[in-house]
A = this chain, B = another copy of it.
Amino acid sequence: MGKRKKSSTNLLNEKYIMESCDLTYAVCKVGGRWKLLILCKLENGKLRYSELRNAIDGITERMLTLQLRELEKDGLVKRTVYAEVPPRVDYELTPIAIELIPIWSKLSSWGAKHKKLVK
């Protein structure tokens, strides 16, 4: 999120795992604290920055920005800036992110089931 040291064991391990396991790779892409919450909010269409901020209780602007930047870099959300003042920016899911939705819903059901089991 900030800069990472090249060639720490930590980073090398991460790289190795991401290369050798597509599943870990996939999970890492949505692994930030707020990423899935953001993506969920976007399931029904575009939202602008402030709408996301208001929709996600507890997130700070810094975190929202950071996570959106990564999602954008990873091709999961598309950012559109309108040349207006005050500025307007909106975010939407990319096609590859949309492909995740049916998988999410299964995973989400699993989560709900697991949650009950544990109690």
Contact = CB atoms under 8 A, between A and B. Distances in A.
A36 B24 contact: yes
The complex is assembled from copies of this chain, and their number is: 2
Contacts of A110: 26, 96, 99-100, 103
Majority secondary structure, A binding face: helix
A36 B23 contact: yes
Interface residues of A, number: 42
A14 interface: yes
Given A33-B13, A75-B117, A25 B103 contact: no
Interface of A: 12-14, 16-17, 20-27, 29-31, 33-34, 36-37, 40, 57-58, 74-75, 96, 99-100, 103-104, 106-115, 117-118
